[in-house]
Structure 1
């Protein structure tokens, strides 16, 4: 392993740990509304990135030169992903929310033949069925049925959380397809 790659691995691990802890912080901040939480997350991230770029002197790298609409679309999809993920955490719990977010490959399998004109393979279909089956094990179906019986707003909000979790996985999958 070269000396430069050790630094890259350290940065990757650090970023992964910090991103993973984001859900724990959101779980502890249930009293804070989702909108302001997302605003401050994005705002302080942008400020940190700007300061880093200013200190390194690479300001010219942040000016988009091409595919500006794609970058704008990615920003919108990323905000939808974060909003639905945070909403899922608030109405269900962190473990359900993170598992629902990481159903994104399931949606990529569904979207890639439509958007990217890729062929769907037998392995992809099997993985999709297994993912969907696993998703049914993750979700507490008793709470979902109770939410359906009481109406969308009559229950504990678990149904809203599950819907937000499905949206977070779908929008994260959409983000992956858009990047591709």
Structure 2
């Protein structure tokens, strides 16, 4: 499997798992920061156990830490804390869309500071998935009386959740951007440090705002531990691998698949609904993300064939 295929495969699986965040969060009776801290901690323990089993734990000790490694982990932890909290105070569609303002932000930063070029095709597909997200959240809507309406407004009921969603998007964008630095660090070690510094950042926040576990029951603990394993260790480790092998714009295109998964879960399990325009948005997200994968892999095959012939 070449690096691009590996990157796209891990990103699709990661985005799918991340789409289940709202389902888990709404079954856990505690705050988003506690949930995110658990995801970081379980992830760190799992990845360390795997590295010990494989006999390469020394690579952690031998990794030269840099500010970008530490900051990327801290941004990941804090953005996930804000995101999980957002899913508890606003609709899943809103929460998922707002955190995914991050990939657009990271793409721009990577183009400016890392000189990563955005091809015309990738730019077009990224635009398509972003517009799809605008359809899903309802910023672009349609009615028979007013026609197509473009508006950005936050209801009083969802205001806190929407603001937390915006904060999560900003943090996610910084995480993706800083992840493009130090690609020399192995995926296992980078995952461990992401989990470690994410947990440290949330732990520091706990000193300012102590968490409460008073409402946690047996069911909540089961959901919390399961979320830590599947959407902490599983999804975030795969995201770290994808960020190592894909450019920011490529990562952004595929990452938006989570918006479709999140919105679908909201419809199926929580009675949330999608209009025809929002459904079109979902198709744009899927088409844009999958289009990036198909075109990239198709472009790779002729070059690989030419190398084999030589």
- Write out per-residue CA displacement over residues 122-169 of structure 1, whole angstroms, 9 at most, x where no aligned residue: 88599669837953761577971x42xxxxxxxx3x112111112222
Deviation of 1:21 after TM superposition, in Å, equals 2.5
1:23-62 aligned within 5 A: 23-29=22-28, 31-62=29-60
Q: Is the 8 A contact 1:143 1:159 kept in 2?
A: no
Query: What is the TM-score normalised by the length of structure 1?
Result: 0.69
Alpha-carbon spacing, 1:39–1:114, altered in 2? closer, same or farther (3 Å): same
Structure 1 residue aligned with 2:172: 172
Alpha-carbon spacing, 1:142–1:75, altered in 2? closer, same or farther (3 Å): closer
Instruction: Report which structure shows greater RCO (CA 8 Å, sep ≥6).
Output: 2
Q: Is the 8 A contact 1:109 1:128 kept in 2?
A: no
Structure 2 residue aligned with 1:77: 75
1:125-140 aligned within 5 A: 131=130, 134-135=133-134, 138=137
Structure 2 residue aligned with 1:162: 162
Alpha-carbon spacing, 1:56–1:134, altered in 2? closer, same or farther (3 Å): closer
Deviation of 1:70 after TM superposition, in Å, equals 1.5
Query: What is the TM-score normalised by the length of structure 2?
Result: 0.43
Q: Distance in 2 between matches of 1:117 and 1:49?
A: 32
Q: Is the 8 A contact 2:69 2:179 kept in 1?
A: no
1:92-103 aligned within 5 A: 92-103=90-101
The SS at the match of 1:32 is coil
Structure 1 residue aligned with 2:306: none
Consecutive unaligned residues in structure 1, runs of 5 or more: 148-155
Consecutive unaligned residues in structure 2, runs of 5 or more: 140-150, 181-310
1:137-156 aligned within 5 A: 138=137, 144=154, 146-147=155-156, 156=157
Alpha-carbon spacing, 1:92–1:69, altered in 2? closer, same or farther (3 Å): same
Alpha-carbon spacing, 1:65–1:104, altered in 2? closer, same or farther (3 Å): same
Q: CA RMSD in A?
A: 3.8
Alpha-carbon spacing, 1:35–1:84, altered in 2? closer, same or farther (3 Å): closer
Q: Is the 8 A contact 1:100 1:135 kept in 2?
A: no
